[in-house]
Amino acid sequence: MKSCEPGTVRAVLKVKPSAIMPATDILALPISLDAWHVDAIRLTIFYGITPQGPFLKLKEIWDQLKLPEPTTQIQVAEQQLTQIQGEIVNNIIVVLIGQPGQIHLHMHKPRFALTWASGTELIKSFGSLLFNSVSSQGGLATRVAMGCKAGLPSKSREHSYRQLAALLPGIEVDESSCDFFYRVNRRYPDAGAPIAGVYLNRLSTWAAIVVNTLPTDASEVVHFATVELDCSTPGDSIGGWNAAVCSEIALRLLKVSEPILTNGHKG
């Protein structure tokens, strides 16, 4: 997960001739968190060099997360395990990825089949186990990040753009748009305890997409107005946090992301 610098705005907009936005089907803010459909939610911990080097034992972390036997394991040179994938209850796919100084836990249910509540419960359930496992191998966190991809179902591409117009006040979006991409980092000024005085990045990326309801050519399509969130502690923070502090930070990242879902990019 990558964050832009605080305050950076990047937008790519290609529009057809402008049209008057119809008043029908325009979202009224705030939006309930229950209205969002979640495709994926993820947690990342960055850590300093450990006594065993930059790589942690990925299978050991998988086992400590109390996950079932994996369906896929990917290795590189010297049998270094870098990715494990498996499936848990309700067809939720879990992917654990190891990189030098980083561990990523990615939880995904295809075609936006998770709710925000179920996604946050996954973070709460696995977060403390992940942080404890990293800590048990000598890793002290230098940065924590939480991300998700969520969507609001819509009736058509035009309807998706009406939803985006409500979520992005002050940004020109109309239903005749043929391609739209908007990204902004509205940082949260103070993370509060246990890391008071540290700002939190809140990167949000907005778009309109089409999803097949089934993985077949004959399946119907569903339109979504989407936001991809990437909330994190800053890259230049001192860190050195233990598992208990990391768990509190992860919950704080969830909390500061919710206003973006309920009130759009200015939340």
Q: Which contiguous run of DSSP H or E holds residue 88?
A: strand 81-88
Q: What are phi and psi of 160, to 5 degrees?
A: -60, -40
Is position 182 within any domain? yes
What single-letter DSSP state applies at residue 172? -
What single-letter DSSP state applies at residue 189? S
User: Which domain covers residue 87, as residue numbers?
Assistant: 9-262
Number of domains in the chain: 1
Q: Express each pLDDT in 161-195 by its tens digit.
A: 889 989 998 887 766 666 788 999 999 988 887 88
Give 162's Cβ-side CA count (13 Å radius).
18
Structure tokens at 73: 């394991």
What is the pLDDT, as a whole number, of residue 52? Answer: 74
Give the 3-state secondary structure percentages of the chain, helix then strand then coil, rounded to 5: 25, 35, 35
Distance from C-alpha of 246 to C-alpha of 5, rounded to nearest angstrom: 22
Q: Express each pLDDT in 181-237 by its tens digit.
A: 899 999 998 888 788 888 999 999 999 988 876 655 556 778 999 999 999 999 887
Q: Which contiguous run of DSSP H or E holds residue 117?
A: helix 116-136
Distance from C-alpha of 142 to C-alpha of 242, rounded to nearest angstrom: 10
Is position 3 within any domain? no
Is position 45 within any domain? yes
Q: How far is CA 115 from CA 38, 94, 108, 217, in A?
A: 5, 16, 11, 26
Structure tokens at 110: 């295809």
Is position 267 within any domain? no
Is position 77 within any domain? yes
Q: How far is CA 235 from CA 3, 6, 11, 206, 223, in A?
A: 9, 11, 23, 23, 35
Give me the average pLDDT of each 10-residue run along the chain (267 residues). 43 38 67 95 90 83 94 77 91 94 94 94 95 92 96 91 89 72 91 85 93 64 93 87 93 95 90
- Identify which of 199, 266, 259, 205 has the alpha carbon closest to the alpha carbon of residue 6: 199
Is position 165 within any domain? yes
Is position 99 within any domain? yes
What is the pLDDT, as a whole number, of residue 153? Answer: 93
Q: How far is CA 9 from CA 4, 85, 168, 184, in A?
A: 9, 34, 13, 5
Distance from C-alpha of 139 to C-alpha of 56, rounded to nearest angstrom: 8
Is position 102 within any domain? yes
Cβ burial 179-194 (10 Å sphere, 16+ → b, else e): ebebbbbbbbeebeee
Distance from C-alpha of 93 to C-alpha of 216, rounded to nearest angstrom: 20
